[in-house]
Chain A
């Protein structure tokens, strides 16, 4: 007697319009700039930039360019989704930002290009490497990866 019945739940394609916050982020990416949202009422900066402040619910009217980026956390990945060893390890980092001297709440998760992951130090400055202008679409993957900032 059959014990199992195989079937799938599938949706061929999802499209996710980026929305108002995403549109602002895209504007920055085109200029090779990362925007943070600024809430006047809370005096708070946020990344990724949203259209509204989740705490006071006011509309975000100002977006400020980030002036400094640093590596807050990272992880080194050795196997792919199916458990097979990767030829080269991939490093993903959680990048935090500052606008002038102010901390930005949140950050971005992205790939980190680094020669020797074992030499990474938390807090080290990083910068985004953008794809060529004509390849950019206005989404997070317009950034190829982050890399260590050479002073």
Chain B
């Protein structure tokens, strides 16, 4: 039966911690100064002003969020800035009990893809949901509901996606 006698020497974490495995170690820390360019720079500035900005392509009529220089379908430069408003529909949502480094959190976090209403249909962004019961995520009742951004007070905004604290459900209009 193939594969026959696959080679390899497995070891357990306990053997490693007991010093039975010979190793060398190192760490990595690289700092970057990422060029924002015209479009993301303006996007962040817009967030500081309490606005969500998108870019409109005259060729196909799409409104892109986050805004970008090139329309991905027409392959030409986008044409205009558009303010898309801060409401959206919940496309999908999940309840996270773990953080970026895989450690557990005390209070779960609700993450969602929110289709912004002022942009092209299906144009979602990743953000948090607040004032939502995790049960409504688990039973998917929150899917398709309208949500609106809850912003930090103007003096606390720094020009970051975290200038929006989270999106919260609002009544259907």
Contact = CB atoms under 8 A, between A and B. Distances in A.
Interface of A: 1-18, 20, 22-23, 26, 137-139
Contacts of B31: 6-8
Interface residues of B, number: 25
Contacts of A137: 22
Interface stretch (B32-40, B63-71, B109-117, B141-149): B32-40
Nearest to A1: B41
Interface of B: 9, 11, 16, 21-36, 40-42, 44-45, 159
Contact of B22 (A9, A10, A13, A22): A22
**Top 9 A-B pairs, shortest CB-CB distance:** A11-B28, A10-B29, A5-B34, A4-B33, A18-B22, A1-B41, A17-B23, A9-B30, A15-B23
B22 A139 contact: yes
Is chain A's interface secondary structure helix, strand, loop, or mixed overall? strand
B22 A23 contact: yes
Contact of A9 (B9, B32, B41): B32
Contact of A4 (B16, B25, B35, B45): B35
A15 B21 CA distance: 10
A17 B8 CA distance: 13
Contact of B34 (A1, A4, A17): A4
Nearest to B44: A2
